[in-house]
Amino acid sequence: QVNEEIDALKTMGIPPMEFLVLPRMLALVVMMPVLCVYADLMGIIGGLIVGVGMLDLGLIEYLNQTRASLTLTYFWIGLFYAAVFGVLIALAGCLRGMQCGRSASAVGAATTSAVVTAIVAIVVATAIITFALNVIGI
């Protein structure tokens, strides 16, 4: 809003929500689960390096224990969490961006506010989802 971009979009007849918010929402909902899978794989590989290289575990033993402790249910729950977090991060960023003032200092304040809002939303969503999964026995 600092350079009146949103006003310009409205003047040209382009809905700001569809032009600015929707692409960010879709990008985060799609890419957060991808990032989650990548982080999971890097964690497993890091555990493999430490376990085999420093703790003298056998490679086959590590892989067997890793496979035994991972279930498809937990994998899908992790992807669900990642998608929910993507929605929350996109909503927080877009909300604070749309509410941003028209000065350079307002951009910094809006950025800080978006980060804080996203963190709080993620903590609350984690508590709610974890409680719900616990209630249904997963």
* Average pLDDT, 10 consecutive residues per value, the chain (138 residues): 70 80 91 96 96 92 93 94 96 87 84 94 97 94
Helices (H), the chain: 5-11, 16, 22-53, 59-69, 72-98, 104-135
Which DSSP symbol is given to 4?
A: -
Q: Write down the domain spans for the chain.
A: 5-34+71-135
| pLDDT for position 3 | 58
Residue 99, CA distances (Å) to 35, 87, 88, 137 in order? 29, 18, 16, 40
Say whether pTM exceeds 0.95: no
| pLDDT for position 19 | 80
- In whole angstroms, what is the distance from residue 33 CA to residue 41 CA? 12
| pLDDT for position 126 | 97
Burial 58-71 (b: 16+ CB within 10 A, else e): eeeebeeeeeeeee
| pLDDT for position 2 | 55
| pLDDT for position 130 | 96
